[in-house]
Every structure is written in C-alpha cells, then in structure tokens.
Structure 1
Amino acid sequence: MLKLILILPPYKQVTIFFSEARTHILNSIRISVKLPTIIVSLCLIVAASIGGLGYFAFKQNILQESQKSLTILTDERRRAQQNWSENLSGDVANFGANPTVIAAANAFNTSFALLTDDPERQHQRAYISDNPNPVGERDRLDRAQENVHYNFQHANYHPFFRQIKDGEGYYDIFLFNPEGDLVYSVYKEADYATNLRTGRYSGSGLGQAFAAAI
C-alpha cells in the first residue's frame, strides 16, 4: 500500500492511499499520459481541500460574529432597561414632591369620599358608561355633567395629568388613597374607582403594584 501525504494550510494533513493493484496499473500507463493525470488529480484534491477548509473557517467566523452581535444587543437592551428604570424612579420622586400633584391627590381623595352611595358605580357611570368618547379616548373628557365636587376637581387637574402622560409617553397615571381606592386615572379603564386592596382587581398587575408600594 502506497500513500501520498499533502500538507495544506493551515497545517492540515491529507493522506491519499494507493493499493498495489492500482500502482501496477499506473505503471503500465505511459508517462506522457500518467503525469498530467496525476498533476490534475492532485490539483483537484488540493483545491477541494482548500475549499472545504475555507468553508469551515467562513462558517466559524459567521458564528463568532453572530455571537458578538447577540452579546452587543443584549448589553444594549440591558442598559436601556436600566436607564428607563432609573428615569422612571426619578420621575416618580419628582412627581411625588410636585405641589400640584400633592394638591390633586388630596382633592381627589376628599371629593371621592363625599360620594357615600356606591362611589365606584357613580364614578364609572360618569366617566366610563356616560363618557361620549370611545374606549382609548376617554381621557378627552375633562368633566362629567353632574354638579358634584369630584367633577369640579377633575376638570381642574385632569388636563395637567393628561399632558404629563402624553408628554412622557406613559400608558396611564393613577392616584390611590391609603385605603386602596383608585381615586383618579387618566384613561378610566375598568379598574377605575375600584379598591385595589380588597376589590376584584386586587390580584391584577396594578393591584400587586399597589400592594408592593404601600
């Protein structure tokens, strides 16, 4: 058994074996025919080997670049999430110290408690059921029609909170009293005017956020 060893870049060894029978056949072929055939065969083998090595190197580079891109994207998203969280914490602290926000919270809490006859039903009827604006645009109503103290406070402070929501890109802004009543919301969804401590939405995401905050 004969063998031919080729060393190809990058230092890859290719071994070609020739049996004795094939060697005898090759010896019977004229050199003028045999030599070009051998040269062409070797060139094809070398080209195929280099091509295969190049393909695997290219594949490895693609995988490495994909991993780098994924790592960079993950880091960027982590930093963006961290910055968003820090900015939101700063906004909450600033709003909590804002005199207008403090006055609005006290006004809504006081006027909310004045409706002793099922305040949830009355507020939801005024700002949800009887709201002339469709779902998603209920925040356009500044004041409900009834002449009650809460509606006057709502007309006074609602444009202020709506401007903050739109300007900062918040989904909504909520004001609670210590008992867990959602005394104000910009959007007025189904949990508006309910109690997030004991009511049917206490287990919702907003209810859990309230429980974690108190």
Structure 2
Amino acid sequence: MATRNLVIGMMFLLQTVFGILGNFSLVYHFLFLYFTGRRFRPADLIVSHMTLANLLVIFSKGVSETMTAFGLKLFLNDIGDVSIGTTCLLSVFQVIVISPRDSRWAELKVKCPQYIGTCSILCWILNMMLNILVPFHITEKRIKANITKKMDYGYCYTVFYCKITESLSLLLVLFHDGFCLVLMVWASCSMVFKLHSHNKC
C-alpha cells in the first residue's frame, strides 16, 4: 500500500472513529434525558435529527471511504444529506431565539418551538425526494459492463444513463444546497451582528 493511501486511510479512520464517538455520546445524552423524564429544549430536537443524519453519513460514506483508502474496494453490492438542511434549520432557529423581544421576530420567537418537529421532518422528506434516484444510478465495482459515462468512487460507480435526468438532479441538489448555504450565512451574520450590538450596549 502506498504511503499516500495509508495517510488518507488513517485520516478517514480518525474522522470516522471520532464522528461515531461524538455522535453516540449525543445519542446517549438524549436517551438519558428521555429515560430520566427531563424536559427537552426546543433546540435538542434539531440536534437529535442532526445527530441521526451525521451517523447515517458516517456509516454510509465514512466507513466506505475508509475501507477504500485501505485498499478494500469490492465490499458493496448494488443496494449499498439531511445534514445541511438540519444545520440550516438550527442556524435559523438560533437567530430567532437570540433576537430581542421588540424585534420583528418577536411573534415568530414564541411560535418557533412548536414547528421544529414539522420542519425537521420536512428536511428529511425533501432530502429523500432529492436523492430518490441515487440507488438507480449506483452500481458495484464487480460489474464489468462497458459503461462510458460513469464516475468512479473507488468502491462503486455512479452511472449516468440520461443527460436530462443527470442535469435535472444536479440542478435540484445545487439549488437545495445553495439555498441552505445562503440561509446559514445569513443566520451566522445576523447572530454575529446581534451579539456585537448587544456587547456595545
């Protein structure tokens, strides 16, 4: 094994191990709150959804990338990003929560906690709809068909059968991710501005 692959494999392994440990500690925390009957804060629901999304990413992408970096490539068969949406939701929620009571967010600040569950479920549904075609375009490495338009991930291929479907999928994912990114940047800037103006008072 080349030194470069070993270094990449170790980096993926460390990220995967620390990601699993960190997210499982959050799962333990939420289970502890649940079984002791303690009250969940509104942001806890968003963080629990983000934890689940992170674990799904780690187990589906992190483990496979780590195994590929260490040279194991033929371990998946054909059936083998809620995270950005949930992070965006958490950012917007934090902006609303830290806004002053006399701001234009005051009314929304009171209603916000009761809509967190619905918004989190909508994030999951939207991501499932965006990624519903992914299983139809992934094929394992052992298939030796002569496919000209494919992307190699090391452990599987993404096969593009139709240019229109490929372009439409790419456009929808870019729009979704771009929209979430713009909202997160706006929320982060708003929080910095609010906290800065609060410190000046």
TM-score bracket, normalised by the shorter chain, equals: under 0.3
Give the TM-score, by structure 2 length: 0.26
TM-score (norm 1): 0.25
Larger radius of gyration: 1
Structure holding more helix per residue: 2
Normalized per residue, the structure richer in strand is 1
